[in-house]
């Protein structure tokens, strides 16, 4: 029987990077367990995973989804929280916008007690993950596993051109390179699917590593809990193809993502003691921070019908141009982002003004001791008055921009729109609370930070406080969110942790 040096739970953005990097040492035996199916070649990947946002069906690849449901606000109907359940995890189903966190984000992380995560320390790892096809300089990587590119102005469809022009006319600066520190305004998104193929960790990291004798990847392997010998993580109990197995390993790295990682820690006895006791889970460690401080980028979608003969964009990404700006009265640079595009099937224009640095936080709690039952997710979007203020401003801005001449030729009547509530702050707040939705960037449920703050779960190298042989590396350990879609940041963190874990 093989004995594993490292057992990794979850093959997503972080788990994919770690499995590939740690197995570079041929003497190190790595086991990667993934709850969803494994596809062992690029050709075997279903087309919605392979092409993602370049296919009509790939608008949200719900064929490989955990199917979570959540409370957005007390006034909103339950919302779906998509998460990839497949080799590559959410990197296999995401929208491939490859924006980095900004230097101010990492200044915040340092201020929260994470001095190893200053901008100067993370930039080399942002460079390491990418091969930028448009910019070659000290800010961009040129030989990493993930190709990153932008659609040029000549390629943009009519709606993206109209959006770009409207933003420039409104006074926002051009931002041709959104990953360059200090930039703001409107410009082409860096995408890790510029050539149509979505470069998930399944493709970019795991595929080239599959031939290694020391890397074992097992799909349909649902980890139920981490097993301990005293305070040392010694392995896991898992359901593999439906059958129970116990697997031991020298160390365990939990990469289940912002929802499954705190869930698995709690199921293994690490979490808020009273909550664990309420479910008769023996308490290994009382950690009140597990499942606390859930962050996201909250949004409220606006929708208009477009001209029925508007050409459907089924082969290129429908988000090619983005707008970032700082809200009025905000101390947070680039705290807002707007996603904009025409849905390739439904003939609707959708605009998603989104807070990239929200002050409201949520919670995650178990409802069952069965790993297959999702935890209760309560996002608490827009609970903070400054979040509502910024969202009101953003909605008014987007409606004004879509009302400009460049859209008159193809935009028809509104479908989801605040109507008269637009002109009244309390009524607009109510509309916001009813239409609150996820920005798909859940994080910070097992935060990294100093042990003394009482709520941090892992140290700056991802090691779980109070245990031996157990690390968490994924979106759950972000001390707080970054002002960008978080995939590139999770990959960057995993690359850095891999160097340490080697």
Ligand X SMILES: Cc1cc2nc3c(=O)[nH]c(=O)nc-3n(C[C@H](O)[C@H](O)[C@H](O)COP(=O)(O)OP(=O)(O)OC[C@H]3O[C@@H](n4cnc5c(N)ncnc54)[C@H](O)[C@@H]3O)c2cc1C
The contact set with ligand X (CB under 6 A) reads 9-15, 33-36, 60, 82-85, 89-91, 93-97, 221-223, 255-258, 260, 264, 371, 440-441, 474-475, 485-488, 490
Residue 260 C-beta: closest distance to ligand X, Å: 3
Residue among 270 and 411 whose Cβ is closer to ligand X: 270
Q: Are 96 and 53 in contact (CB under 8 A)?
A: yes
Q: How far apart are CA 287 and CA 266, in angstroms?
A: 9
Residue 154, Cβ density class (10 Å: 0-12 exposed, 13-18 middle, ≥19 buried):
exposed
Residue among 145 and 406 whose Cβ is closer to ligand X: 145
Residue 209 C-beta: closest distance to ligand X, Å: 16
Q: How far apart are CA 354 and CA 339, in angstroms?
A: 8
Q: How far apart are CA 126 and CA 489, in angstroms?
A: 7
- Number of helices (H), then strands (E), belonging to the chain: the values are 13, 23
Residue among 117 and 407 whose Cβ is closer to ligand X: 117
Q: Which entry of 64, 317, 319, 441 is annotated as an active-site residue? A: 441
The tokens describing 437, both together, are: 């939705």
The residue behind tokens 């690029």 is 42
Q: How far apart are CA 200 and CA 12, in angstroms?
A: 8
Our measurement of the distance from residue 25's CA atom to the centroid of its chain's CA atoms, rounded to an integer in Å, reads: 29
Q: CB neighbours (10 Å) of residue 133?
A: 15
Residue among 352 and 390 whose Cβ is closer to ligand X: 352
Select from 176, 189, 208, 180 the least CA-distant residue to 148: 189
| Contacts by 132-139, CB closer than 8 A, 24 or more apart | 132/179, 132/190, 133/194, 134/177, 135/177, 135/179, 135/180, 139/177, 139/179, 139/180, 139/181
Q: Is 441 a catalytic residue?
A: yes
Residue among 428 and 446 whose Cβ is closer to ligand X: 446
Q: Are 345 and 59 in contact (CB under 8 A)?
A: yes
The tokens describing 116, both together, are: 């190893």
Residue 358 C-beta: closest distance to ligand X, Å: 15
Residue closest to ligand X, measured at CB = 12
Residue among 60 and 112 whose Cβ is closer to ligand X: 60
The enclosing H or E element of 319 equals none
Residue 363 C-beta: closest distance to ligand X, Å: 18
The tokens describing 491, both together, are: 């990959």
Catalytic positions, written as ranges: 441
């Amino acid at each position: 029987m093989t004995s594993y040096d490292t057992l990794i739970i979850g093959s997503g953005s972080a788990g994919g990077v770690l499995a590939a990097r740690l197995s570079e040492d041929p003497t190190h035996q790595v086991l990667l367990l993934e709850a969803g199916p494994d596809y062992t070649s690029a050709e075997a990947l279903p087309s919605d995973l392979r092409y993602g946002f370049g296919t009509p069906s790939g608008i949200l690849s719900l064929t490989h989804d955990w199917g979570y449901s959540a409370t957005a606000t007390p006034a909103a109907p339950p919302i779906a929280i998509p998460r990839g359940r497949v080799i590559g995890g959410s990197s296999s189903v995401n929208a491939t916008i490859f924006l980095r966190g900004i230097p101010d984000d990492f200044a915040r992380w340092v201020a929260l007690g994470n001095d190893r995560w200053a901008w100067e320390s993370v930039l080399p790892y942002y460079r390491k993950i990418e091969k930028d096809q448009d910019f070659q300089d000290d800010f961009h990587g040129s030989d990493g596993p993930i190709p990153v590119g932008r659609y040029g102005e000549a390629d943009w469809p009519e709606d993206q051109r109209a959006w770009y022009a409207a933003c420039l006319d409104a006074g926002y600066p051009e931002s041709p390179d959104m990953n360059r520190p200090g930039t703001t305004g409107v410009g082409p998104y860096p995408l890790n699917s510029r050539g149509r193929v979505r470069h998930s960790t399944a493709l970019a990291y795991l595929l080239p590593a599959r031939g290694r004798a020391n890397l074992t990847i097992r799909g349909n392997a649902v980890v139920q809990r981490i097993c301990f010998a005293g305070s040392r993580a010694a392995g896991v109990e898992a359901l593999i193809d439906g059958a129970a197995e116990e697997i031991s390993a020298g160390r365990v790295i939990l990469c289940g993502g912002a929802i499954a990682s705190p869930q698995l820690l709690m199921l293994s006895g690490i979490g808020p003691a009273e909550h664990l006791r309420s479910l008769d889970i023996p308490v290994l460690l009382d950690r009140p921070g597990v499942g606390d401080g859930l962050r996201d980028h909250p949004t409220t979608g606006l929708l208009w019908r477009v001209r029925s003969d508007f050409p459907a964009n089924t082969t290129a990404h429908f988000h090619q141009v983005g707008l970032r700006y700082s809200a009025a009265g905000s101390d947070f640079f680039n705290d807002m982002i707007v996603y904009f595009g025409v849905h390739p099937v439904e003939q609707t224009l959708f605009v998603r003004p989104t807070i990239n640095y929200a002050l409201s936080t949520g919670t995650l709690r178990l409802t069952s001791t069965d790993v297959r039952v999702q935890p209760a997710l309560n996002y608490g979007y827009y609970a903070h008055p400054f979040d509502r203020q910024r969202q009101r401003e953003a909605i008014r801005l987007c409606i004004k921009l879509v009302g400009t001449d460049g859209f008159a030729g193809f935009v028809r009547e509104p479908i989801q729109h605040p109507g008269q509530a637009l002109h009244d702050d309390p009524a607009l707040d109510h509309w916001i609370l009813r239409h609150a939705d996820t920005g798909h960037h859940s994080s910070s449920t097992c935060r990294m930070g100093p042990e003394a703050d009482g709520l941090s779960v892992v140290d700056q190298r991802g090691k779980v406080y109070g245990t031996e042989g157990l690390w968490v590396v994924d979106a759950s350990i972000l001390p707080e969110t970054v002002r960008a879609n978080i995939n590139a940041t999770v990959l960057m963190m995993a690359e850095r942790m891999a160097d340490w874990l080697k």
